[in-house]
Amino acid sequence: MSNGRVGSGGRNGAAAPRGPRQRGQGGEGFRLSMVFAAFTSLPRVLRLVWTTQPWFTFTMAVLTVVRGFAPAASAVVTKLVIDSVLQALPPRHGPVRTVVLYVGLQLLISVATNLFSTLSNIIQQLLQEQVSNRVRLLVMEQANRLDLAFFESPEFYDKLRQAQEQAAFRPVTMVSQTFDLTRTVITFASMILILLRLEWWIAVVALVVPIPAFIADSRYGWMGYQRMRRQSPERREMSYFETVMTTDTYNKEVKLFGLGSFFVNRFRTLATRFYEENKGLLVRRYLQNFGWLSLSLAANAGIYLYVALQAVVARITLGDLTLYTQAAQQVSSSFQGILSGISSTYENNLFVGTLFDFLAYTPDIVSPAEPQPIQIHESNGVQGLSIEFRHVSFTYVGKSEPALKDVSFRIEAGEAIALVGRNGAGKTTIIKLLNRLYDPTEGEILIAGRDIKEYDLAELRAQVGVIFQDYVTYFMSAQANIGVGQIPQIDDAELVAAAAAKSGADTVITKLPNGYQTMLGRWFNEGTQLSGGEWQKVALARAFMRDARILVLDEPTSALDARAEYEVFAHFRTLTAGKTAIFISHRFSTVRLADRILVIEDGVLQEMGSHLELMALDGRYAELFNLQADAYR
Amino acid identity for residue 100 in this structure: V
Across the chain, mean pLDDT equals: 77
Cα 372 to Cα 238, 432, 456, 457, 549: the distances in Å are: 47, 21, 7, 11, 17
Write down the pLDDT at residue 92.
Answer: 65
Give the span between the Cα atoms of 517 and 480, in whole angstroms. Answer: 8
Amino acid identity for residue 163 in this structure: A
Give the span between the Cα atoms of 192 and 203, in whole angstroms. Answer: 7
Residue 167 in this model has a pLDDT that exceeds 70: no
Q: 142's torsion region: left (phi>0), alpha (psi -120 to 50) or beta?
A: alpha
Residue 380 in this model has a pLDDT that exceeds 80: no
User: What's the length of the chain?
Assistant: 633
* Pairing relationship of beta strands 596-601 and 416-420 according to DSSP bridges: parallel
Write down the pLDDT at residue 381.
Answer: 64
Report the alpha-carbon angle 396-400-404, nearest 5.
55
Confidence category of residue 138, pLDDT binned at 50, 70, 90: confident
| Contact by Cβ (8 Å): 278, 287 | no
Q: How many helices (H) and strands (E) does the chain have?
A: 21, 12
Query: Residue 391 belongs to what H/E stretch?
Result: strand 387-394
Cis peptide before 91 (omega within 30 of 0): yes
Q: Is 527 helix (H, G, I), strand (E, B) or coil?
A: strand
Q: Identify the residue with better confidence: 421 or 188.
A: 421
**N-to-C CA span, the chain:** 58
Write down the pLDDT at residue 419.
Answer: 92
Strand partners, 580: 550
Give the span between the Cα atoms of 586 and 199, in whole angstroms. Answer: 91
How many other C-beta atoms lie within 10 A of the C-beta of residue 453?
20
Give the span between the Cα atoms of 556 and 150, in whole angstroms. Answer: 25
Mean pLDDT of 382-392: 88
Helix 170-195 × helix 96-145 angle, to 10°:
150
Residues near 100 by Cβ (< 8 Å), separated by ≥ 6? none
Query: Residue 302 belongs to what H/E stretch?
Result: helix 260-312
Give the span between the Cα atoms of 267 and 154, in whole angstroms. Answer: 19
Cα 588 to Cα 42, 503, 594, 627: the distances in Å are: 62, 21, 10, 10
Give the span between the Cα atoms of 257 and 13, in whole angstroms. Answer: 38
Mean pLDDT of 177-202: 74
Q: What are phi and psi of 522, to 5 degrees?
A: -110, 15
Share of residues in the chain with pLDDT > 70 (%): 76
Query: Residue 528 belongs to what H/E stretch?
Result: strand 527-528
Share of residues in the chain with pLDDT > 90 (%): 9
User: Tell me: the pLDDT tens digits for 567-603?
Assistant: 666 666 666 777 888 988 777 777 887 889 999 998 9
* Pairing relationship of beta strands 527-528 and 596-601 according to DSSP bridges: unpaired
Rg (C-alpha) for the chain, rounded Å, is 35
Residues near 300 by Cβ (< 8 Å), separated by ≥ 6? 206, 328, 329, 332
Query: Residue 300 belongs to what H/E stretch?
Result: helix 260-312
Q: Is 352 helix (H, G, I), strand (E, B) or coil?
A: helix
Query: Residue 105 belongs to what H/E stretch?
Result: helix 96-145
How many other C-beta atoms lie within 10 A of the C-beta of residue 57?
19
User: Tell me: the pLDDT tens digits for 122-132?
Assistant: 888 888 788 87
Residue 23 in this model has a pLDDT that exceeds 50: no
Residues near 261 by Cβ (< 8 Å), separated by ≥ 6? none
Amino acid identity for residue 381 in this structure: G
Strand partners, 387: 411, 447
Domains of the chain and CATH, by start: 38-360 (1.20.1560.10), 382-463+549-633 (3.40.50.300), 472-547 (no CATH)
Mean pLDDT of 215-242: 72
Residue 33 in this model has a pLDDT that exceeds 60: no
Cα 293 to Cα 68, 213, 461: the distances in Å are: 23, 8, 63
Give the span between the Cα atoms of 237 and 585, in whole angstroms. Answer: 34
- Which of the given ranges, 16-30, 73-87, 498-512, has the highest pLDDT on average? 498-512
The percent helix, strand, coil of the chain (3-state, each to 5) is 65, 10, 25
Mean pLDDT of 39-64: 82
- Which of the given ranges, 1-10, 33-42, 439-448, 578-587, has the highest pLDDT on average? 439-448
Write down the pLDDT at residue 411.
Answer: 92
Give the span between the Cα atoms of 382 and 585, in whole angstroms. Answer: 24
DSSP code, position 606: E
Q: Which of 16-25, 222-231, 306-315, 359-368 is least confident?
A: 16-25
Give the span between the Cα atoms of 534 and 508, in whole angstroms. Answer: 7
User: Tell me: the pLDDT tens digits for 341-379?
Assistant: 776 776 677 667 777 888 888 888 889 989 899 887 776
CA 414 to chain centre: 41
User: Tell me: the pLDDT tens digits for 149-161?
Assistant: 787 777 777 777 7
| Contact by Cβ (8 Å): 351, 132 | no
Give 400-411 as a DSSP string.
SS-SEEEEEEEE
Write down the pLDDT at residue 535.
Answer: 83
Give the span between the Cα atoms of 181 and 46, in whole angstroms. Answer: 14
Write down the pLDDT at residue 18.
Answer: 46
State the pTM of this model: 0.66
Give 447-463 as a DSSP string.
ETTEEGGGB-HHHHHHT
